[in-house]
Structure 1
Amino acid sequence: MAHAVSSERRPCAVSVLGGPTTVIDIGGLRLVCDPTFDDAGDHGYLTKTAGPAATEADLGAVDAVLISHDLHPDNLDTRGRAFALGSPLVLTGPAAAARLGSPAQGLATWDMAALDRPDGGTLEVCAVPAQHGPDDGERDQDGHVNCEVTGFVLRGSGLPTVYVSGDNASVGLVARIARRMAPIDVAVLFMGAARVPAKMRGRPLTLSAQRASAAASVLGAPVVIPAHCDGWAHFSEERGDIRQAFDDAGLAGCLRTADNGTWIDLPF
């Protein structure tokens, strides 16, 4: 039986609310990744086609918000920004933290923050690299393709290790993360092959379904949860494409999907 997201916390579970917005209950804590709570409509050069499957009020209290990047409205929209800044803690990249202000804390690549768990342990949140476009994409003055983007790895004693990719298009970076942070038990991969004609000649800015299956193979994670594949017009692939690519790669068994706003309980 599917359980809808509510203020009641799950022992260990993930729910995708639509777009990149993901709720993770782990170690007694509730984290929200890339909150986007605006209704459907135009956001400058991007168009949101569906609102979230749960509202800010549905989630109740949260312990931290993880923001892969703050410059694109499909990863942080108006209500999502207000939600994040009203939370106890925001973890993001250094440049994003400087723009957002309190309570944002900037984590450089491979830096770690420790969150106290209700059981007395800690949940480590490690910032990992992400590349928002192809390898030969134009880089800014800080060397980022498109903009600074941060992925995250969550881990702690007695807990599964969870990787949240953020807007990453590079399987090579996934391989670096796998080598450094293995074993990865759960991978939340931002897919959708996002394309914007004016950027990178319209090539994917996030993982395509095929490249996501390659990333899953590199990671060796027994559970892969797709996010960032619906709710915005510039996402060029959807869940059907993802299922086909994972089946073609012989990895259908690791793929976990559910209706937006319902929990995927993790068997750990």
Structure 2
Amino acid sequence: MSTGLYRQECAITVLGGPTVVIDLGGLRIVSDPTFDEAGPHGYLTKTAGPAVDEDGVGPVDLVLVSHEAHPDNLDERGRAFAKAAPLVLTGPVAAGRLGSPAVGLSPWASRSLPRADGGGDLTVMAVPAVHGPEDGERDTDGNVNCEVTGFVLSGQGLPTVYVSGDNASVRTVADISRRVPDIDAAVLHAGAARVPAKFGGRPLSLDSRGAAAAAAVLGADTVVPAHYDGWAHFSEGLPEIELAFHEAGLSALVRVAAHGTWVQLTR
């Protein structure tokens, strides 16, 4: 396991599973922290721990939680990590369950926080996500499976970064792209997660072809795949992702580095 992550000016690294560290505007942002070691988590099984642990990540300015209902997106140590952060942004239902310091944002709502680089504010917009097939049964809040939130990070002079969360809907990505037409980089949860008891085993997150389609719709210059390994319920991995982008003629967009290794971003 890596001993630590040096601060970057503008970069992304995947630690394994859904956990991504984004250094942007002088801030360190962690999405969907999962730091437990491999082992069973109820009906899900974690097959690998993170490339970097909590100590290696160091002080964090903001945690993004797409949803807290499933342990592959917020496990026990990840939950403790989030609770110790200065600020957690998530959906309203998840914020109510997590308590302080979580703040709930409904889709299209934003929260701004001052950047450490003196460049003004970083704005975080919550965007919708569909955690399963479009025709999946919806709960009383209109969510498929559970409430899931994606995020768009932006600021003056910074690349605009989309973090999908566990979204399986290309239609939803198209809606986001219409509202935010200038996305520069996208972190896509792309492991085609499947649980036999849910929706007939259909994907609960983007499959590889869906990820390629989402990238084409977004028009982003950089795509960082995440949430395709580390858990047994992923049905597709990096080879399938790279093949789908190759077949779509989009291989030049994909940035893959060893977990815990930085992918540099440019505006």
- Please state which band the TM-score falls in when normalised by the shorter chain: over 0.9
- Identical aligned pairs, as a percentage? 66
| CA–CA distance in structure 2, aligned partners of residues 17 and 5 of structure 1 | 13
Match of 1:92 among 85, 90, 93: 90
Q: Hey, what's the Cα distance between the residues in 2 that align with 1:142 and 1:117?
A: 34
Q: Distance in 1 between matches of 2:126 and 2:67?
A: 12
- Equivalent residue, structure 1, for 2:192: 193
CA distance in 2, matches of 1:173, 1:118: 32
Query: Which position in structure 2 is the counterpart of 1:59?
Result: 57
- For residues 137 and 144 of structure 1, the distance between their equivalents in structure 2, rounded to whole angstroms, comes to 9
Amino acid at match of 2:67: H
Matches within 5 A, 1:25-104: 25-104=23-102
Q: Which structure 2 residues correspond to residues 242-257 of structure 1 after superposition, within 5 A?
A: 242-257=241-256
Residues 159 and 266 in structure 2, CA contact (< 8 A), matched pair in contact too: no
User: Which amino acid in structure 1 is aligned with residue 70 of structure 2?
Assistant: H
Contact residue 5 and residue 262 of structure 1 kept, 8 A: no
The whole-number CA distance in structure 2 between the counterparts of 1:42 and 1:60 is 26
Q: Give the match for residue 202 of structure 2.
A: 203
Could you list the structure 1 runs, at least 4 aligned residues long, displaced by more than 3 angstroms after superposition. none
Count of residue pairs the alignment pairs up: 265
Paired with 1:126 and 1:246, the residues of 2 have a C-alpha distance of 27
**Aligned with 2:11: secondary structure?**
strand
From the superposition, tell whether residues 265 and 105 of structure 1 become closer, same or farther in structure 2 (CA, over 3 Å): same
TM-score under structure 1 length normalisation: 0.98
Instruction: Tell me the distance in 2 between the aligned counterparts of 1:88 and 1:235.
Output: 32
Match of 2:12, SS state, is strand
1:95-244 matched pairs, under 5 angstroms: 95-120=93-118, 121-244=120-243
CA drift of 1:7 comes to 4.4
Equivalent position SS for 1:123:
strand
Q: Distance in 1 between matches of 2:33 and 2:5?
A: 16
Indicate the SS of the match to 1:256. Answer: coil
Partners of 1:40 and 1:47 within 8 A in 2: yes
Q: Which amino acid is 1:192 matched to? A: G
Could you give the per-residue CA deviations for residues 112-164 of structure 1, whole angstroms, max 9, x where no partner exists?
Answer: 00011123310000000000000111111111000000000000000000000
For 1:7 and 1:192, the matched residues in 2 are separated by: 25
Could you tell me how far 1:6 is from its partner in structure 2? 2.7
Q: 1:27 touches 1:117 (CA, 8 Å); kept in 2?
A: yes
Q: Does the aligned pair in 1 maintain the 2:5–2:260 contact within 8 Å?
A: no
Q: Deviations 1:220-259 (Å, cap 9, x if unpaired)?
A: 1010000000000000000000000000000000000001
AA aligned to 1:240 is: P
**Unpaired stretches in structure 1, ≥5 consecutive residues:** none
